[in-house]
């Protein structure tokens, strides 16, 4: 089925789109570069639906393959309503809504940090992922304008997580598997600003 037709079918009903769960092959295949497969009005409707779905989940990012559409498009947004100590430890600052089209990233510097991550396509679980703390993001926005900028902290982590989806990579592929924890366990035991206690008690290493 042509991608435009698939998107039209998805948008036939109002409300959030169904989110694809881990185990579906669409999450394990590199997404097709976006090159006008959706005409502008349909692209705009699709982006709005991705944003509605992201908010409803709720999450801070959503990639097109997560709703069954193998295109290199993602949306990100993070109001970052966190305590000051979390902001400082994780570099979690507000990230305005934006659309990433054909994004790619590369590390800037050697610094890495490990924090718990979750994923809307792997519901109920979180695990610690060590990622570069600064990345260079390239690609374009929904209007075709070039993007080339450096992001740090939590915005850099969100960009890496969502771009990975477009490459068929889930966060669990990069995770410290000994850290894998149910959401309620993270909330009850590991809700500290950093996962130092989790690393000590569960037996995994964090970047120095």
Q: What's the token pair of residue 51?
A: 């944003």
Distances (CA, A) of 95 to 40, 76, 92, 158: 25, 8, 9, 10
Class of residue 10 by CB neighbours under 10 A (exposed 0-12, middle 13-18, buried 19+): middle
CA separation for the pair 196, 194 (Å, rounded):
6
Positions marked catalytic: 162
CA separation for the pair 59, 119 (Å, rounded):
8
């Amino acid at each position: 089925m042509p991608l435009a037709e698939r998107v039209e079918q998805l948008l036939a009903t109002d409300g959030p789109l169904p989110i694809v769960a881990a185990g579906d092959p669409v999450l394990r295949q590199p997404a097709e570069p976006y090159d006008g497969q959706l005409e502008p009005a349909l692209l705009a409707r699709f982006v709005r639906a991705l944003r509605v779905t992201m908010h409803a989940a709720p999450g801070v990012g959503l990639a097109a393959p997560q709703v069954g559409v193998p295109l290199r498009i993602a949306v990100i947004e993070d109001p970052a309503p966190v305590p000051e100590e979390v902001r400082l430890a994780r570099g979690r600052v507000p990230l305005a809504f934006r659309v990433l089209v054909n994004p790619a990233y590369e590390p800037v510097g050697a610094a890495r940090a490990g924090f718990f991550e979750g994923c809307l396509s792997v519901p109920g679980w979180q695990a610690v992922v060590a990622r570069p703390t600064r990345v260079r993001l390239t690609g374009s926005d929904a209007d075709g304008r070039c993007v080339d900028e450096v992001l740090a902290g939590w915005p850099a982590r969100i960009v890496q997580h969502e771009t990975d989806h477009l490459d068929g990579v889930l966060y669990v592929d990069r995770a410290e598997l000994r850290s894998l924890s149910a959401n309620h366990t993270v909330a009850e035991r590991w809700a500290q600003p950093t996962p130092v206690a989790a690393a000590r008690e569960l037996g995994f290493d964090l970047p120095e």
